[in-house]
Amino acid sequence: MDVAPSQRATRSTADNESACDSYSVLRGRDVPESRLGGWRERRMVVDARLTGYRPLRKNWDGLGDFVYLADSYLASGERTGYHEHDGVDVVTVVLMGKLLHRGVLRDECVVEAASALVQCSGSMGFGHDELNTGPETCRVLQIMFLSAAGSGRAGYRTMSLPRDGRHTIYRSGMRGSADESNSTSLTIVASADGERLRVPGSSVIYVADGSLAIVDETVLAGDMLRGTDLCMDVAGGSRLMIVSNVKSPRLQVRRPMTEEA
- Judge whether 242 and 205 are in contact, CB under 8 Å: yes
What domains can be seen in the chain, in order of their start residue? Answer: 1-30+162-261 (2.60.120), 31-161 (2.60.120.10)
Residue 223 has a pLDDT of: 98
- Say how far apart CA 143 and CA 91 lie, in whole Å: 5
For residue 34, which amino acid is it? S
pLDDT of the chain, 261 residues: tens digit per residue? 333 455 554 443 334 444 465 899 999 999 999 998 889 999 999 999 887 776 667 899 999 999 999 999 999 998 887 777 788 899 999 999 998 887 766 667 888 999 998 988 877 777 778 889 889 999 999 999 998 765 667 778 889 998 899 999 998 854 443 344 458 999 999 999 999 999 999 999 999 999 999 998 999 999 999 999 999 999 999 999 999 987 667 777 765 544 443
Q: What is the CA radius of gyration of the chain?
A: 18
- Judge whether 79 and 72 are in contact, CB under 8 Å: no
Q: How far apart are the first and last CA of the chain?
A: 42
Residue 20 has a pLDDT of: 61
Beta strands at 126-131 and 83-85: parallel, antiparallel or unpaired: antiparallel
